[in-house]
Structure 1
């Protein structure tokens, strides 16, 4: 669509497709649990709680690293590896296909080992995928593998944040806490692609993606470390389901 219609109409058509899919899907939604009416729209006082402050920071750094591969792996395929434009779109498809499967299967895993444990595992694997596969191995095979694995685990690292919040602070406070957590996503997203693109232009001369990859990996490293601290503060017994 971008090649034939331009990016403006591509965005419009994508938006209309989203409306066409989401509206019928919303009719199928059913309330599964009764949630008490929230006392506050946004629970700002929660930031005084060290556990929530840690979770807020984790979600911020996770969002900061999450969008980097989605935004730059496709162009990396063409610019850095010299592959065709077809491979660029294929990498986007691989990332999103992995995400579809991962959000479902990791959710099942969270039922067995606990959402906090599952989220730590997905963050750790996401981090290793960026810094131990994408960064050092500059070939198409490694990129395809990292795109598939990252797509599989990274989506759950974001979607599990509300579940972890509910398990730690209760369902009653969840609606108020989500406002702050989604705000952290916004901050992380703003620190993600714009800065990454600037690093690519200034230090990579538009072709060397190493500074950008390290920058994205640093976000996931920080998120993994902070979530590990949160996990140990909640319960230092690694065998406990949390």
Structure 2
């Protein structure tokens, strides 16, 4: 179990840590290349939707043959995408590299694939805790990597910084060996309780799955809007660039505690109530941030509070899916739920850039984020967490 946690945590630290810093590239790239904020936001929005779509198929492969092959392919695609992002000369090439290619890479190197390994390797009594640990490592990646990325941009320029990250992400390759599942890979003739089609049909006929999926849409909208547009929002109000770097790092730091605590609490309390509380708290924190005078300290307080709530939905949502449906198709079902998250991410990132370019303000998106948080809190309350009772399949 320890090997799975260490290697899975390190993979997520790298993959999530790098992608959480993409907002730092918005102004350097758009200013040097003469692109609009919407063009940058569109590429990151494509990244999120590509991640969501490919996450379903990456999950299917990982459930069937193990995570090892998926991680190798994902690491290679990540390195190519970062290098291509550095060398792109037009918004179209930037969208194909920073958007499509890195989105595909993230599908094979982040939560859905790693959580599938956890579900199969770790007993149910410890599953929510283990998922909280892995989610916390993703938060540590943000805390550690965002300042590193900011320093690289300042010292060697944005394009060279991306090339350095392209080499760094290849560390995922040796880490993938620690997540091999010899008893799973190649087991194509082994009896399976459900086919893929049966598992998908069952999930989409289950109201609780649909409610969790809808709630995850809101999570994606909120975190990607803040993660990508917060640095520019702060600079627009005259705050120094380091305030943005520190704020994103604080999100990562406090999310370490938030996700770990959420995973632990999920072992003892109904996860639907915890999820509802997280979404409602996000709206309350955002309202408070918009009401108080903007200053570095108000930004840091907001970042710490929002960080505590940032990815704490991840272990609770995935553990609930495992609790309801079992672990046989966990990576795939987690991929479907995560697709909804990424649709929300697409809209959060793109609408932020679109509405800013047309109104000169992020206000509308802030208000929409608050309303969506209240909506997500309400729809998580009716979720039923009990395992489904299936009829035996016909011989």
TM-score by length of 1: 0.80
The runs of 4+ residues in structure 1 deviating greater than 6 Å are none
Please state whether the residue corresponding to 2:312 is helix, strand or coil.
helix
Tell me, in whole angstroms, the C-alpha distance in 2 between the residues paired with 1:143 and 1:153. 15
What's 2:317 paired with? Answer: 161
CA apart distance, 1:193? 0.7
Alignment check: 8 A CA contact 1:135 1:214 kept = no
Whether 1:221 aligns to 2:377 is no
Aligned to 1:71, what secondary structure does the other structure show? Answer: helix
May I ask how many residue pairs the two structures share in their alignment?
Answer: 224
Alignment partners' CA distance in 1, 2:375 and 2:362: 20
Cα 1:129–1:15 shift into 2, 3 Å = farther
Q: Which residue of 321, 345, 362 corresponds with 1:189?
A: 345
Cα displacement (A) at 1:176:
3.7
**DSSP 3-state at the match of 2:344:** helix
SS at match of 1:139: coil
| Counterpart pick for 1:133 among 288, 298, 301 | 288
C-alpha contact 1:64 1:192 (8 A) present in aligned 2: yes
Please state how far the C-alpha of 1:2 moved relative to its aligned partner: 2.4
Following TM superposition, by how much is the alpha carbon of 1:195 offset from its aligned partner in structure 2, in angstroms? 0.8
Which structure 1 residue ranges, 5 or more long, are not aligned?
236-242
Alpha-carbon RMSD: 2.6
Supply the distance in 2 between the matched residues of 1:87 and 1:223 (Cα, whole angstroms).
30
Alignment partners' CA distance in 2, 1:217 and 1:70: 16
How far apart are residue 194 of structure 1 and its match? 0.8
C-alpha change, 1:16 and 1:218, in structure 2 (3 Å) is farther
Larger relative CO (CA 8 A, sep 6+): 1 or 2? 1
Q: Select the structure of larger CA radius of gyration.
A: 2
- Aligned equivalent of 1:87: 243
TM-score of the two chains, using structure 2 as the length reference:
0.51
1-structure distance, mates of 2:192, 2:338: 20
Seen in structure 2, the aligned counterparts of structure 1 residues 17 and 219 have a Cα distance that, compared at 3 Å, is farther
Distance 1:234 1:155, change over 3 A: closer
Structure 1 CA distance for aligned equivalents of residues 376 and 244 of structure 2: 28
* 3-state SS in 2 of match to 1:192: helix
Separation of aligned partners in 2, 1:38 and 1:8: 49
